[in-house]
Homo-oligomer: A and B are copies of this chain.
Amino acid sequence: MEKSLQKEKAERFRALHSRGRILILPNAWDVPSARVFEDSGFPAVATSSAGMMVSLGYPDGESIPRDLYLSAVRRISNSLSIPLSVDAVSGFGETPVEIESTIRGIIESGGIGINIEDYLTRSDSLRSLDTAVERIKLIKKFGEKFDVPLVINGRTDALRHAPGSDEERLKEAILRAKAFRDAGADCVYPMGLTDATSIETFVKELDYPTNVMVRRGLPPIRELERLGVARVSFGPSASYAAMGLLKRVSREIIEEGTYNSLVEGAITFDELNKLASPHNI
């Protein structure tokens, strides 16, 4: 991607986080899922790491080879005209040199936003706050080095993985998100924040752009907007939905011998094929 276009996309994406209007950010797992989202009118798309990794045969986490992951990011980015934010999981590496490789790879693959989380799948535990904060600073630095003003979404998994009661975990999530904010993240993302009361507490405490994820029980968009949420992302839920549909399709054809769930509401061959055509940018 032309560097000037990539920088413009990063700034365009950053501006979508301004207060007042919520950003609805769908997460895709491949080219056509991303293109359906663009064609539906969303102003930006993000990758779902779980969706993409499982699609490529790897579980969520960092067991997928980085280059295989990035090649899929690049295919998605090449197919879109709107900004693409990329999930860097927990950084794909431990040293600053490895973080630099990850960020350079994402930028070379067309990404303009980064999700970085403080949870490590392989140890099933949270990073120390210092380490997590250091990563956000490094990502900001490498974005500047490679001349793309990356939009950094700092995710904490404290609500799921910190010790203590629900209240203590919420406190830890707020503490970590404030540290991410102060380290230069453009948006903070407390994974698992779902109910209106906790969202309200969190957003008031942070007073900073906050990302929540769609899941059963999340208040509707209008309510999220009232609560001051800046951005709501799909996470892997588009993959959950698509695979749920394939389970229903399978059950219907095996048990009933019919194809209603396979053909009702489906797109056509020409529509599918167009999702792979080069996009006018």
Contact = CB atoms under 8 A, between A and B. Distances in A.
A151 B113 CA distance: 47
A259 B269 CA distance: 27
B265 A248 contact: yes
A24 B242 contact: no
A266 B244 contact: yes
Nearest to A261: B241
A90 to B, nearest CB: 16
A267 interface: yes
A4 to B, nearest CB: 24
A240 B37 contact: no
Contacts of A42: 250, 254
Interface in A219-270: 220-222, 234, 236-251, 253-254, 256-259, 261-263, 265-269
Q: Is the interface of A mostly helix, strand, loop or mixed?
A: helix
Contacts of A241: 245-246, 249, 261-263, 265-266
Interface in A153-181: none
B57 A253 contact: no
Contacts of A273: 50, 54, 59-60
A254 B59 contact: no
Contact of A24 (B56, B244, B253, B276): B253
